[in-house]
Amino acid sequence: MRIRIRHTVLLLAIALLTVPQVIHAQWFGSKSDMINTLRVIVNGDWEQPAIIRLKSDDRIEFSFDEMSHQYHRFTYHIQHCDAQWQPSDILESDYLDGFNGETIDNWQNSLNTTFDYTHYKLVLPNGQANLKLSGNYRLSIREDDREVAYFKFCITEGRPFLTASVTGNTDIDTHESHQQLDMEVNYGNLTVRDPAKELYTVVMQNRRSDNIVINPAPTYDSGNSLTYEHCRKLIFPAGGEFRRFEVINVYDYFLNVDRISYHDPFYHATLMQDTRRHAYKFDYDHNGRYLIRYNQADDSDTEADYLFVHFNLASDRLSGGKLYVYGHFTGGNLTSRYEMEYDESEKAYQATVLLKQGAYDYQYLWVPDGASAALTKPMEGDWYETRNEYLILLYYRQRGSRYDRLISTLMSQ
């Protein structure tokens, strides 16, 4: 694979790759071809979901790169949302102690990189913005009142209302290709007169939103608890462990990298050719997460370079859908930027994605025509042994209230 991309061609290529043909949007997204590497880090831990506790010392950090060394005056705007991520019917002063429209003042140019970029960072809460209510929030990044990127995050009240377990013994099969989540909502002395109308549950597998389960019906209602056992909606295809690669230095080869080459003026990393999986393969993956890292940098945020990463999956051509490379680096978005094209001469699916140096988890997801949920089975297989992460969110809107509280969250594996 020989690719020579000059700077003028690069800008056109990025623009084409970032056309917003969104199938599903999850935790973040870019609306500008010049905004890359959106990240959310909670309390310094890159593996945690975008959730902090109300009235605690928790801090949530949002960051992104603008692909130039020119300063841009970005502002941020925070919107409280309901459980369906629509704007809540409350005033800004109800949820925000401070003001919207403040400037992001923490920025720094990249240092000694082939790609010029400026790294912007925002931490919440801060001296200008403190959030007063639990629930869902949407953080809009704007330039001249035009949104260029967004983040979604949650604030939980952290009540211990949830318990859960995962098993491969399901109502579909036994220790084969699915996993069943059983859970219990024990709301104790919380005033709940009508659970079906006042409580709202969301379950996500590996933080994906395309196969999200929303408000499944409980199996039992015991008066102050709801039990979900043998619930068909809570049976998930098990998928496989995420594949992994590391590009933490352009002068050496690391995990799953076939070669790194320099085509003036940029670096390219070609991964080992992947194949369709026909059996379960154990690996110490991170359920889709990624870490920005350059192993010789004092500060990877500004010293890690960008590379064109080439994915290559040997396979017969499939019909009736589209194939995507997926990981948390996509923000949960299955868009044309991550769509794979089939090369008839090489009998392989291929994609080229501009990524910042680091360690990445990824999978290949197949979206049938007209479907809303992506499938792991065609390329990754579905294996009950897979170590998946299930994130449960429990919302509560008391009768007469104007917003949804996020009262409890739980991660179960």
Q: How many CB atoms lie within 10 A of CB 117?
A: 24
Contact assessment for residue 257 and residue 367, using Cβ atoms and an 8 Å cutoff = no
Confidence of residue 137 (pLDDT cuts 50, 70, 90): very high
The tens digit of pLDDT for each residue in 172-206 reads: 999 999 999 999 999 888 999 999 999 999 999 99
Kind of pairing, strands 306-314 and 266-271? parallel
Residue in the structure block whose two tokens are 């098990």 = 238
> pLDDT value at position 4?
36
pLDDT, tens only, 279-338:
999 999 999 999 999 999 999 999 999 999 999 999 999 999 999 999 999 998 888 999
Contact 51, 42 (CB under 8 A): yes
Contacts with 284 (C-beta within 8 Å, 6 or more apart), sequence order: none
The pLDDT of residue 196: 92
Per-residue pLDDT averaged across 151-174, rounded?
A: 96
Of 246, 241, 243, the C-alpha closest to 260 is 246
CB distance 357 to 304 below 8 Å = yes
- Residue in the block written with tokens 């949804």: 404
pLDDT digits (tens, 9 = 90+) for 62-115: 999 999 999 999 999 999 999 999 999 999 999 999 999 999 999 999 999 999
